[in-house]
Structure 1
Amino acid sequence: MVTITGSVVVSRHINKVWHKAIAHYEALVATMERLNPAASFKPYSGYEVFQPNHAASTDQVVQFEIGPVIVNLPVRGQADGNDLYVVFQGRIGFEVDAVLADDRLKTVSFASRIGYFAQIKDTLEHVMGFHCDLDVERIAHPAFHAQLVSFGDDFLPLVQQYVPAPLEHDRMKGALHGVRIPTAQLDFFAIIVQLAADHLLWKESDERERKGFDDLVRLDKQIKGITPQILSLKESASLPCHRGPHWYATAPPT
């Protein structure tokens, strides 16, 4: 059943999926903070992080706008200070039936925008920026891919709410934007795991930290990805090979 209010389509199951997404986010954050209390998320509440996109949602798929979320962590696992600010903004779509039937989140779409800012003394530097997409329509676009991009203009004001410092240098200015690097499915939840791996773990991490990371990965594996819906990747998954060419669909005839 779909209720229409003006031009807005509202799924009657949107709240159930919303609560499931929020619970998963807050469980990931709690697990990451146990791994290393240095990590902090703003906003912390999943209700502020996930906003249902009623216009894009149906009884089959619930779409959410995500963020912006700012994650503050050390640059490296062995570092003392929390000098890195990572801004995430994006969207994600979940299949309704997977939640109703299996109580499980199953992604059907996503887009991720990630900007990294380092605090260096009394200034900020934009040290990394990329966006991650899903594209199975256009020729020469890997199904999952990342592109380098500057978010200095878009995300700097968000970071300056917590670090009122000028931007000294934007290292992403002039990055070649059209390079599409085949990647894994880097939706919002996968990015959280990546941040923990890159910035909270190091070669001398103790047993508590190692177990905490294992718990984080195990928890996020509860979400089902989009691969089974993408023919080129589904066929490639049966092969003992995951090289980049498998991420490209066969070009349609002109």
Structure 2
Amino acid sequence: MNRQALSARKHLIEQWNEVTGALPKLNSVAEVRPDSGENVITPAANSAEGVITFELKPVVFNLPERADAVSSDLYIVVAGRLGIQADSLASGRVLLTHDFSTKAAYFRRSKGALVHVYGAHYDFALSELGHPTFHMQLRSFAELAPYVTEHYRVDCEVKDCFDGVLRNVRLPCAQMDFFSFFTQLCADHLLFKDSGREERAAFNHLLKKGAFLKGAGARSGRLVEEAAQTCYRAWHWYPLVA
């Protein structure tokens, strides 16, 4: 890696440490494996010119399905790519997203089975016909179940409840790079109305630290138009047909 790539990776690993540090403060049973940013955030084989791209190797979060639950029977496998604009490294500590993709597979451990209950792919399309700039697609990621077995020794039958889901429905969404997705996991499964001051403070700290990365929305002419600044309706998110 060159100096720019090393610097960008350092920023990403620092943010990864913020995530892993927040988990036990939000819930004592929450964990992620592997937990070393050095091992899971790696340079990608191919990057566009002027872009530094990293891969998040598959990691597995073990979380309660609800924040007030006493058991942690939910396993979420997350993997992805994140491209950083190289010239943003010279402007300070805020990195600028060039592109990203994230995939997530949810598995619920039940009696005698590991059930695939949810799967989604989050992506960025700058000017692709019919694709919202930021979008998600539901799909089965049952093939990621072996990572649960590997890291948590959950060795049982895999049942795919997501097989056959319609895959070409692209829902406009926020920029769900893998760090954004980690924030969603904490909000969905580790916070509830009775969360205490320590849990709320840990989540707020995670949100503030997330400012290290700026999204790719500015690359879309449609999203930076004045009309889109105060209106979040979906028609802003699609490129005009040439």
Q: Describe the shift of the 1:222–1:13 C-alpha distance in structure 2 as closer, same or farther (beyond 3 A).
A: closer
Alpha-carbon distance in 2 for matches of 1:199, 1:207: 17
Structure possessing the higher relative contact order (Cα contacts under 8 Å, 6 or more residues apart): 2
State how far apart, in whole Å, the 1-side matches of 2:104 and 2:227 are: 27
Counterpart AA for 1:76: R
List gaps (5 residues or longer) in structure 2. none
Quote the residue 2:87 is aligned against: 97
1:93-146 deviations in Å (ceiling 9; x for gaps): 112222232122221110011000001123110000010110123211000000
Residue aligning to 2:207: 217
1:160 to 124, 143, 149: 149
* Matched residue, 1:109: 99
Question: Which TM-score applies when normalising by structure 2?
Answer: 0.93
Contact 1:84–1:119 at 8 Å: present in 2 too?
yes
Determine helix, strand or coil for the equivalent of 1:111. strand
CA–CA separation in structure 2 for the residues paired with 1:62 and 1:23 = 17
Structure 1 residue 12, shift from structure 2 partner: 4.2
Report the Cα distance in structure 1 between the residues aligned to 2:34 and 2:227, rounded to whole angstroms: 37
The number of equivalent residue pairs is: 240
Q: Which position in structure 2 is the counterpart of 1:56?
A: 47
Alpha carbons of 1:57 and 1:251: their partners in 2 closer, same or farther (altered >3 Å)? closer
Q: CA deviation at 1:55?
A: 3.3
Q: Distance in 2 between matches of 1:200 and 1:220?
A: 18
Query: What are the residue-to-residue correspondences of 1:1-40 with 2, within 5 Å?
Result: 11-40=2-31
Give the drift of 1:158.
Answer: 1.1
Identity %: 36
| TM-score after normalising by structure 1 | 0.89
Q: What amino acid does structure 2 have at the position aligned with 1:14? A: A
Q: Tell whether 2:205 aligns with 1:248.
A: no
Maintained 8 Å contact 1:83/1:119 = yes
> Do the aligned partners of 1:11 and 1:57 also contact (CA within 8 Å) in 2?
no
Residues 70 and 236 from structure 1, CA distance in 2 versus in 1: closer, same or farther, beyond 3 angstroms?
A: farther
- Structure 1 residue ranges without an equivalent (≥5): 1-9
Contact 1:31 1:212 in 2 (8 A): yes
- After superposition, where does 1:132-171 map in structure 2 within 5 Å? 132-152=122-142, 154-161=143-150, 162=152, 163-167=154-158, 169-171=159-161
Q: Distance in 2 between matches of 1:32 and 1:221?
A: 19
Query: Partner residue of 2:121?
Result: 131
* Structure 2 CA distance for aligned equivalents of residues 133 and 211 of structure 1: 30
CA shift digits 1:30-75 (9 cap, x unpaired): 12332223221111111111110243265x2210111111111000
- Mark the CA change 1:38 to 1:99 in structure 2 (over 3 Å): closer, same or farther: farther
Q: Find 2:71's aligned residue among 78, 81, 87.
A: 81
Q: Give the 3-state SS of the residue equivalent to 2:80 in structure 1.
A: strand
What's the offset of the Cα at 1:237? Answer: 6.7
Q: Which runs of 4+ in 1 moved over 4 A?
A: none
Higher mean C-alpha deviation, range 33-42 or range 62-71: 33-42
Cα separation, 2, equivalents of 1:197 and 1:172: 23
1:44 aligns with 2:35: yes
How many angstroms apart in 2 are the aligned matches of 1:236 and 1:77? 39
Asked if structure 1 preserves the Cα contact closer than 8 Å seen for 2:126 and 2:219, the reply is no
Q: CA deviation at 1:206?
A: 1.6
Higher helix share: 2
Pair 1:126–1:237, CA change in 2 (3 A):
farther
* 1:236–1:30 distance in 2 versus 1, CA, 3 Å: farther
CA root-mean-square deviation: 1.6
| Cα shift at 1:22 | 0.8
